[in-house]
Amino acid sequence: MYFKVLFFCFVILGILGFANYGRAHIINVSTAFDILIVLSVFIYKPKFADQTSLLLFIVFFSYFVISFLIATVFQGNHLLDFLLAYKAIFYFTILFYFERKRIGGRQRFYQLYKWLVIFFFIKYVSSVLLSLNDRPLLFRENNFELMLLGLMFYLKFILFEKIKGWELLTIIVIFLISGSKSAIPILFLVLASVYLKGLTWKKILSFSVICMVFVAVFASLLISKYGLTGLGGIDRIAFFRVFLLEMMNSSNLEILFGHMRISALLETSCNALYFYPGLFSFKNDGSCYSLILHSFLLRSIFDHGVVGTLIIFYSCYFLLSRAGYSNRVSYTFLGVMFLNSLSVSGFNSVFFALSMLFYIGFSPYKIINNRDI
């Protein structure tokens, strides 16, 4: 049943994505996908894989609730400011509940994957060829959604252990014409994981050609955007400078375990990033929170500390391992998340939660007593 809900939602949102060629979907896709994720709680039986999953669910859920009470009830922060900072914790809470629940087999996954690739290809190519949008998107800004496509492409390879030539070409075209500087390294990592396993001269030659194309496109993107302003024009550098300023004014405990739930940035930090008004606090009082730093890594270290950030990454690895995936697959997935977390919302993105649902729900491995069979 859940597969039908997933398939229907993706197809409908994909079709609606053709109705708009602006900077956003005609509806709030993130909210729609969040509802889809929450539905998994009600569709499946309220049963945990084992006591470990139950314990981790309780830990993450308690952390989320306690942080919510401190931030909104006792400190009076805006609810949306809190939710945007703690989405990753919310997603992991659901993922620990969802562990070892099945969505379907590999044929069902391929049915969903095939239509998704078709939608992406048509929308991106038409956007660029018809000059409708220089940064094409299907669901949301491509810095976010291409992470999902890259991970689904990798999962398809895991399930079928082969990649057809037309399929590889289609995926490469989508990523290269996207205009996304953060998406290209993600696909490069995924292809490296695929092609550098069991090396042959044919694979080495093919991967070398792909590398040269990726480097050329990536360099042209950087030159086209920063050729006149230089590296000083990269907004991520401005975010990192503000982050360093905040860390220099933080205690050792705050660096290790995060700031009080939730803490506004210094007034000087907010003033330095005044050119991002849409990312200031929902209280509209001129204050700003970690959201304005863009990068999930910077946001997570500020909100949850170095320890909390490491726990988030390890929790992702833990769920993949428990789903039966090898260290190679788990590290590749984490590498994709790390690259995405450098520039955008990473684990705080609904596309991360969807990717994890797919990897858990379509896992080709059968698990009994924590062992693959």
Residue 218 has pLDDT above 60, yes or no: no
- Comparing 346 with 200, the larger pLDDT belongs to 346
Q: State residue 200's pLDDT score.
A: 55
Q: Is residue 98 packed enough to be buried (19+ CB in 10 Å), middle (13-18) or exposed (0-12)?
A: buried
At 275 the pLDDT is 75
Between 18 and 46, residue with greater pLDDT: 18
**What pTM value is reported for the model?**
0.88
d(CA 314, CA 365): 21
Give mean pLDDT, residues 30-39. 91
What pLDDT, on the 0 to 100 scale, is given for residue 49? 83
Mean per-residue pLDDT over the chain, rounded:
85
Neighbours of 201 (CB within 10 A): 7
**Strand blocks (E) in the chain:** 367-368, 371-372
Please determine, for residue 207, whether its predicted confidence score (pLDDT) is greater than 70. Answer: no
Condensed to tens digits (0 to 9), the pLDDT of residues 253-266 reads: 999 998 888 888 88
Residue showing tokens 């994957």: 113
CA 68 to CA 63: how far, in whole Å? 8
DSSP 8-state code for residue 286: S
SS3 98: helix
> Of the given ranges (23-27, 154-158, 202-206), which has the lowest mean pLDDT?
202-206
CB-CB neighbours of 363 under 10 Å: 21
Give CA torsion, residues 202, 206, 209, 215, to 10 deg: -130
Of 96-105, 187-196, 266-275, 290-299, least confident by mean pLDDT is: 266-275
pLDDT computed for residue 211 by the predictor: 62
Report residue 359 as tokens: 């990897």
* Nearest-angstrom CA–CA distance, 83 and 103: 27
DSSP string, 132-183: S-SS--SSS-HHHHHHHHHHHHHHHHHHHS---HHHHHHHHHHHHTT--TTH
Q: How confident is the model at residue 229 (pLDDT cuts 50, 70, 90)?
A: very low
pLDDT at 272: 83
Q: Quote the pLDDT of residue 366.
A: 63
Which of 10, 249, 288 is CA-nearest to residue 149? 10
114: left (phi over 0), alpha (psi -120 to 50) or beta: alpha
Model pLDDT for residues 49-108, shown as the tens digit of each residue? 889 999 999 999 999 999 999 988 888 888 888 988 899 999 999 999 999 899 999 999
